[in-house]
Structure 1
Amino acid sequence: MDYLEIAFELIVGFVALLILTKVLGKTQISQITPFDFISAIILGELVGNSLYDNKEGVKEILFAISIWGGLIFLTEKLTQRSRRLRHLFENTPSIIIRKGQIEFKELKKNHLDLNQLQQLLRAKDVFSVRECEYAILETDGSLSVIKKPLYASVQKQDLNLAPASAAIPISVILDGEIIYDNLKMIDVDENWLVSELHKKGFTSARDVLFGEWQDGKELLLQGY
């Protein structure tokens, strides 16, 4: 197998995997379950092994990716429609701490030890089990925590404060380049942005490392 053939098969495999990840959706990465993890590894192995097998070509690579991707896609569709199949392939969340008490049977069932539980709790800013009322182990291995009322964060409604409207920060300049699509999103033009730059002492967008707009707040600009 020459280098040109390897490069061609790599490009074909890359494009095929890219298309497949678009079809399967973001949950394949962002909310990965043990089944998703194994399927992703096997998918990569199918492409990797095919590259260095002299008997396998582009057709075989595409065929293997299509069959395996089709099986994953079919499984996702079935789990969306059937609760039983969803439990079989993705499992269900487990309550690890209930009313402040550690559920030892659930720990053993999920092969989780106390040190791992403490680490997961610390990731949620809970440094003592006594602070936790409920802890739920999600299907992707993350932990969702409800603190006891004594340790819960104070919210505005607890203080009878008027809530402020939520606003999404929008990047308007990144690495000295204006993000024109984001300018359209916030309904402003380049002239407005240049005017704001001059007010902040910048001659052009090229002098700005990062620029962020947020409704109701002053334009954030940081130079190099």
Structure 2
Amino acid sequence: MFTLLIRTFILFIIIIITMRIMGKRQIGELQPYELVITIIISELASIPISDTKIPLVHSICPIITLILLQVILSVIQMKFDKARTLLCGKPSLLIKNGYIDIEEMKRQKLNLDDLLEELRLAGYYNLEDIEYAILETSGKLSIIPKTKLTSVTKKDLNIKVQQDILPLTLISDGKIRYKNLQSINKDMEWLKNELARKSIYSYKDVFIGIINSEGKTYFQRKN
């Protein structure tokens, strides 16, 4: 009995350290590869607890290997866009300009009831109130309502507003997202001018560059 308690305590400490290394994410926010690693680690930890004949090292070594793999994959997906897409997938636009993308719903294996349920959970009960709905890689739904409904005072006072655009990443860790740049009908010359306005003369020095929902650019240097 004492041996079992000691083994359980050791594995508990190792799992706590492992989870801290993996980061402060909830289960629902884990990327697919992170969720797989978490499930495997839980299985590896339970085996030597239920069977004391199995040496503890037979679980500790695979757990350490998995956490090293998770760290390596995290670094790779931070540095390379293609690796990030391969490991985590990419966000899916389920509602665009107020209309449901039926083909994208089919690709994501979602039905209308699932979508409406997620909208209700987010506090939106009318489909016509939604301008964009984005299914994130973690499985959560991000919602951008129609601009006239984001503030009660704008609608009540009949103030004319311009519809917000979809925020996009233009630069990620020194790499330009050319597809996003093309989607807003801008070119490299425009991007260079935007950078110059912020006294930034090389996109490689930028950690994150975005165009927000109001069409304004924001840049943060790597340093």
TM range (shorter): 0.5 to 0.7
> 2:122 matched to which residue of 1?
124
Is this contact kept in 1: 2:94–2:133, CA < 8 A?
yes
Identify which of 138, 141, 147 aligns with 1:140.
138
Is this contact kept in 1: 2:129–2:145, CA < 8 A?
yes
> 1:103 matched to which residue of 2?
101
Is this contact kept in 1: 2:94–2:100, CA < 8 A?
yes
TM-score with structure 2 length normalisation?
Answer: 0.64
Is this contact kept in 2: 1:9–1:58, CA < 8 A?
yes
> 1:40 matched to which residue of 2?
38
TM-score with structure 1 length normalisation?
Answer: 0.64
**CA distance in structure 1 between the partners assigned to 2:38 and 2:151 by the alignment:** 38
**C-alpha deviation, 1:55, in angstroms:** 4.2
* Number of aligned residues: 156
**C-alpha deviation, 1:30, in angstroms:** 6.6
**Root-mean-square deviation over aligned CA pairs:** 2.1
Q: Which runs of 4+ in 1 moved over 6 A?
A: none
Q: Does 1:93 align with 2:96?
A: no
**C-alpha deviation, 1:133, in angstroms:** 0.7
Q: Deviation string for 1:13-54 (max 9, x for gaps)?
A: 110011111222113647312322222111100111232334
**CA distance in structure 2 between the partners assigned to 1:136 and 1:23 by the alignment:** 29
Is this contact kept in 1: 2:132–2:145, CA < 8 A?
yes
> 1:27 matched to which residue of 2?
25
**CA distance in structure 1 between the partners assigned to 2:52 and 2:8 by the alignment:** 14
Q: Does 1:57 align with 2:55?
A: yes
- What's the % identity of the aligned pairs? 29
Is this contact kept in 2: 1:107–1:113, CA < 8 A?
yes
**CA distance in structure 2 between the partners assigned to 1:155 and 1:138 by the alignment:** 30
**Partner letter of residue 98 of structure 1?**
K
> 1:172 matched to which residue of 2?
none
* 1:1-224 aligned within 5 A: 3-27=1-25, 29=27, 31-154=29-152
**CA distance in structure 2 between the partners assigned to 1:154 and 1:36 by the alignment:** 41
**C-alpha deviation, 1:150, in angstroms:** 3.3
**Partner letter of residue 125 of structure 2?**
F
Is this contact kept in 1: 2:29–2:139, CA < 8 A?
no
Is this contact kept in 2: 1:28–1:36, CA < 8 A?
no
**CA distance in structure 2 between the partners assigned to 1:140 and 1:134 by the alignment:** 17
> 1:200 matched to which residue of 2?
none
**C-alpha deviation, 1:80, in angstroms:** 0.9
Q: Which blocks of at least 5 consecutive residues in structure 2 are unaligned?
A: 158-223
**CA distance in structure 2 between the partners assigned to 1:155 and 1:91 by the alignment:** 39
> 2:202 matched to which residue of 1?
none
Is this contact kept in 1: 2:93–2:135, CA < 8 A?
yes
**C-alpha deviation, 1:144, in angstroms:** 1.0
Q: 1:21 to 1:155 in 2, by over 3 A?
A: farther
**CA distance in structure 2 between the partners assigned to 1:85 and 1:127 by the alignment:** 37
**CA distance in structure 2 between the partners assigned to 1:155 and 1:33 by the alignment:** 39
Q: 1:132 to 1:26 in 2, by over 3 A?
A: same
